[in-house]
Structure 1
Amino acid sequence: MLQRSTLKFLKDLRQNNNKPWFDENKTQYQQAKADFETLVQQIIDGLSRMDPGLEGLTVKDCVFRIYKDVRFSKDKTPYKANMGASFSKGGKKSPYGGFYFHLEPGGNNFAGGGIWMPDAPEIKKIRQEIDYNFSEFQGIVGQKDFIRYFGKVNGDTLKTAPQGYHEDNPAIAYIKLKSFVVTHSMSDDAVTQPTLVRDILRTYAVMQPFVNFLNRALDE
């Protein structure tokens, strides 16, 4: 579970997103960072038992920096008011699909996963896999627990069918997607409960066939 002080730090950071405040509260940041990294290690340990391909991941492989790259952003606040970690084969910069945990108090916490904005060669493979094996894909995303946890697959959508596909393709709604992502919201109370790791891993277990399908496409 996460400490309530970690959530409080992120809430305070949202209201005071500037370097002087951050420097004054560096001790609280270090404590929140350590708390989050402890959770990430526990998730890694559980996921490694579920998916041998994730064995060997380290906390550093998974956790995103709190410092923002503001060079090309209109929002010049220097810090993220959230903490995130991605669990995939090869780490957070890998092209493979995986699992993700996002901590952002105030109604924005979630456990999710999939592939976000894959490059052209990868998305071409995924679209082909969905087209060739649409009944299998439908069975995964239409499964009762999948719908209960995630609702549907999310992602920005092309306005027209990509090259090589037609609008009457039964899988066209998925083939038009630019990302293949699912999320399961978690309340602030839920992320401070002793059952947090168990609940996250249970969510990932429901998601695993979906992630495996996407990664199978990339391996072919």
Structure 2
Amino acid sequence: MITPALFDFFRELRANNNRDWFNENRARYEQDVKAPLLRFITEFAGPLQTISPHFTAIPKVGGSLFRIYRDIRFSKDKRPYKEAAGVHFRHAAGKDVHAPGFYLHLAPDEVFAAIGIWGPGSKELLRIRQEIARHPDTWTGITQDPDFLSVFSEGYEHQKLKRAPKGFDPNHPLIEDLKCKHFVASCPLSEKFVCTPDFPVKLAQTYSHGAKYMEHLTHTLDLPW
């Protein structure tokens, strides 16, 4: 399924992020990156259902597999290709990466699994913050649970508002959580781990430690779990 060849491809792409090199190595991308990941997504559909039946594993580019092409229209960084593979198992009610979901990031020296919601819309972000503010004990009980923290101990604390969001008490005991722009928790993995034959089952086991977190977010947004 996933093999070290995937990481070898991205290591070389880092040093040769241009269209000429990619076109010369397109067959490697298709064989070592795209095809194995589409097979993995197909195989992961079953284990994913054991966590929740409302999240999708769509084996196509633009489905669960992110495109390798970067959107450089408004960026000063003109590198044409992403130097990592991204897989997102989003909620069936969502249309893009901003839906609640389970994420897998594959890059040389940066492999991790993540859960939550990245860049939610303003209405969704407000609802999550309001839920945390109104029921702090529930939120703390989930995010400080030893089982959760044993796996998902990392987050995106660096991407926060500098001040309390409008309409929220700056002295709220969970003000640091309320400042968050994203509600995501991550778990570092290794290249060796993702290249094991039973990786789909192992990944589902990893995600299952964050099931209560995901259930809480989806219910907060009035989505089925």
- TM-score if structure 2 supplies the norm length? 0.90
Asked if 2 retains the 8 angstrom alpha-carbon contact of 1:70 and 1:77, the reply is yes
Letter in 1 for 2:26: K
Letter in 1 for 2:162: K
Q: Where do residues 173-212 of structure 1 align in structure 2 (5 Å cutoff)?
A: 173-212=176-215
Flag the 1:112–1:15 CA change in 2: closer, same or farther, 3 A.
same
1:13-55 superposed Cα distances (whole Å, 9 cap, x missing partner)? 1111111111111111111210111112222221123211125
Q: Please name the residue that 2:147 is paired with.
A: 145
Q: List per-residue Cα deviations over 1:133-184 (Å, max 9, x = no partner).
A: 2111111111112112121542411111112211221221111111111111
Question: What amino acid sits opposite 2:35 in the alignment?
Answer: A
Matched, 1:162 2:165: yes
User: Distance in 2 between the 1:162 and 1:180 partners?
Assistant: 15
Q: How many corresponding residue pairs?
A: 218
- Note closer, same or farther for the CA distance 1:135–1:152 as it changes in structure 2 (3 Å cut): farther
Alignment of 1:213 onto 2:212: no
Q: Give me the CA root mean square deviation.
A: 1.7
Report the counterpart of residue 10 of structure 1 in structure 2.
10
Bigger Cα displacement from structure 2, 45-54 vs 76-85: 45-54
CA contact (8 A) 2:89 2:102 kept: yes
Unmatched 5+ stretches in structure 1: none
Structure 2 letter corresponding to 1:67: Y
The 1:36/1:94 distance shift into structure 2, 3 A limit, reads closer
Identity rate, percent: 36
Q: 1:83 aligns with which of 72, 82, 85?
A: 85
What residue ranges of structure 2 are gaps of 5+ in the alignment?
none
4+ long deviations beyond 4 Å:
none
Corresponding position of 2:29: 29
- In the alignment, the residues of structure 1 paired with residue 153 and residue 55 of structure 2 have an alpha-carbon distance, to the nearest angstrom, of 26
Structure with the larger helix share: 1
With normalisation by structure 1, the TM-score equals 0.92
CA distance in 1: counterparts of 2:86 and 2:154, whole angstroms: 22
